Amino acid sequence: MGETGFTNITDPPKPRSSLSKTAMSSIDNLLRPAEGTKEMQVFRLMHRLAVFTVAVLCVMISLESFSTAVVILRGQVSRDLPIEVYSANLITDYAGTATIKESPLILQVLEGSTSPQNNSVYLETPSAHSHTGCSNVANYNHGMYDNDYLRFIFSSLQARASYNISYLTELELIAPVVDCTFELLVLGDQTVLSVYYLVRNKGDPDQ
């Protein structure tokens, strides 16, 4: 019989050196930090911080807008809401301190008459007025303060708001009155219109 060879099973097989080196190299590549200069890493960090800051600001603005909307919808007055005040310097003196029939507006401008007028009244100075517009205002908007347009606004107000404000149907327009010193009128602003409506009671014209 030929010789029979025996293998010592107590000795574990030795790993192949080439496979071991390949595995270790792969692990090193995974653990190695991403390549790039230090400046690029700082730039990426700053970019992430900027994005995070913008996101936080957007959330804060959204929350403030929501709270403001709730205040407005509830009809509550908030001291945080911006309030802009614009002045008109002539109307107070023309209205006077007594009854409107005794005011300079009626006695001087309308010569004591409270009958309905065909024109609007434009107060230009403490002693001068016009029935055509504010001639001394460089940025005067003729379209916004046109006599027909001012009367159209009053008619629309009577027609559409009388359901909730019933006394509007009892009023008769004498004349629209415009103070030519109103700040936004002088600036030529087209977002806000200021007009005073001089009216009388239909059932009692002398009132």
pLDDT range class, residue 1, cuts 50, 70, 90: very low
| Residue 39 pLDDT | 80
Of residues 82 and 88, which shows the higher confidence score? 88
How is residue 69 written in tokens?
Answer: 């909307």
Domain ranges of the chain: 34-83, 90-201
The least confident of 82-91, 123-132, 171-180 is 82-91
DSSP string, the chain: -PPPP---TTSPPPPPHHHHHHHHHHHHHHHSPPP--HHHHHHHHHHHHHHHHHHHHHHHHHHHHHHHHHHHHTT---TTS-------SSHHHHH-SS-GGGSHIIIIISTT--SPPSS-EEEEETTEEESS--TT-TT--TTTT-HHHHHHHHHHHHHHHTTTSGGGGGEEEEEEEEETT-HHHHHT-SS----EEEEEESS-TT-
| Residue 165 pLDDT | 83
In degrees and rounded to multiples of 5, residue 178 shows phi and psi of -120, 130
pLDDT range class, residue 35, cuts 50, 70, 90: low
Supply the pTM of this predicted model. 0.60
